[in-house]
Structure 1
Amino acid sequence: MSGPLARLRGAADRAAEAVSVALLAAMFAAFVLQIVSRYLFDAPLGWTLELCLTTWLWLVFWTSAFVLGERDHVRFDVLYLSGGRRLRRAFALAAALAILAGFLASLPATLDYITFYRIKHSATLHIRLDWVFSVYGLFAVAMVVRYLVRSWRLVRGETTDEDAEAGA
């Protein structure tokens, strides 16, 4: 991939990484503020815990959806690696279709759950909980798109990440 599409993809990747960095920085700053407030001034701040939890939630799902690649996730691939190229492609396609089916099946309930929480707010920061949990909806949609594309590429016979790593 080259040209304008590659530049757009690179810019989107850098923006996703910048969001992850900002979330981690906000979480770390709240964590340090809580330590200083609690142990130096003996005045704990309740909102810092909630901010740490919320930024952690967003950091995990945002980064998993938009920053990490297929090879960055934990895999149990002993059986997968024992097979030849065709068997590995079949395993990869079966796994991609199973993940796609699972996320597609859970998407309506996920979105319903998130929209239900628009009536509730967090305890100390008073953030609407649908905003807090919306990152999981983004994650679920991103996984549907990712595994739809992965399935399509596997069906077309394109080289997988695992094939490239093995030098095939």
Structure 2
Amino acid sequence: MRRTLAWLRALADNVSAALLAAMFAAFILQIFTRYVMNDPLSWTQEVCVTAWLWLVLWGSAFSLTERDQVRFDVLYTWVGHRTRRWFAITSAAALFAGFAASFPASLDYITFYRIKKSPTIGIRLDVVFSVYAIFAAAVIVRSGYEVWRLLRGGRLPEERQTDHSEEHTGVPTI
């Protein structure tokens, strides 16, 4: 199971790298055609924006680990271990509830966009924005797992950062 999960994580990282490469290539091509050829291409900006959207949401869903996330923990560091546990549970539960509650409406909105296409390339916008549904589903699964894990006495996020053996537990971590 761990080997499969490691393979899936590597695949997700490769998708992120391919998106970054596509964005960079389109950006360089845009600069070249605009400033060297004096004949800018219109589609390169759309490729950059779409690749960036997919890169950010795909990477957040599958490539980032718990220790990669930005946290605002001023109050969190001032309280004791037991209160930290409840802060972590409350935070994960809020993420779970918010994303789970908004998921059906998000899917509805994304599928509504099947009638529209991007202005330059002509990609259906439901395809462009479908990455948000993937991201939201990953957040729901990860935060739900985090609540379950913490309620069962699992380590707090900062305790897990020092021990990499729990980093890849089978469910991607937020």
Judge same fold: TM > 0.5, yes or no.
Answer: yes
AA matched with 1:49: Q
Partner residue in 1 for 2:2: 6
In the alignment, the residues of structure 2 paired with residue 21 and residue 75 of structure 1 have an alpha-carbon distance, to the nearest angstrom, of 25
State percent identity of aligned pairs. Answer: 57
In the alignment, the residues of structure 2 paired with residue 6 and residue 116 of structure 1 have an alpha-carbon distance, to the nearest angstrom, of 38
AA matched with 1:113: Y
The superposition leaves residues 98-148 of structure 1 with CA deviations (integer Å, 9 ceiling, x where unpaired) of: 111100111011000000000110001000000000000100000000001
After TM superposition, the runs of 4+ consecutive aligned structure 1 residues lying more than 3 A away are 164-167
AA matched with 2:65: G
CA contact (8 A) 2:42 2:120 kept: yes
AA matched with 2:103: L
**CA RMSD of superposed structures (Å):** 1.1
CA contact (8 A) 1:85 1:163 kept: no
Aligned counterparts, 1:2-81, within 5 A: 5-81=1-77
Which consecutive residues of structure 1, in runs of 5 or more, have no partner in the other structure?
A: none
AA matched with 1:151: V
Which consecutive residues of structure 2, in runs of 5 or more, have no partner in the other structure?
A: 164-174
In the alignment, the residues of structure 1 paired with residue 73 and residue 18 of structure 2 have an alpha-carbon distance, to the nearest angstrom, of 33
TM-score by length of 1: 0.94
Partner residue in 2 for 1:121: 117
TM-score by length of 2: 0.91
Aligned counterparts, 1:150-161, within 5 A: 150-161=146-157
AA matched with 2:34: R
Task: Report the 3-state secondary structure (helix = DSSP H, G, I; strand = E; otherwise coil) of the residue aligned with 1:95.
Answer: helix
Larger mean Cα displacement after TM superposition, 154-163 or 33-42: 154-163
Task: Report the 3-state secondary structure (helix = DSSP H, G, I; strand = E; otherwise coil) of the residue aligned with 1:124.
Answer: coil
In the alignment, the residues of structure 2 paired with residue 165 and residue 54 of structure 1 have an alpha-carbon distance, to the nearest angstrom, of 32
In the alignment, the residues of structure 1 paired with residue 55 and residue 100 of structure 2 have an alpha-carbon distance, to the nearest angstrom, of 23
In the alignment, the residues of structure 2 paired with residue 128 and residue 70 of structure 1 have an alpha-carbon distance, to the nearest angstrom, of 33
Task: Kindly indicate whether structure 1 or structure 2 has the higher relative contact order, using CA contacts under 8 Å at least 6 residues apart.
Answer: 2
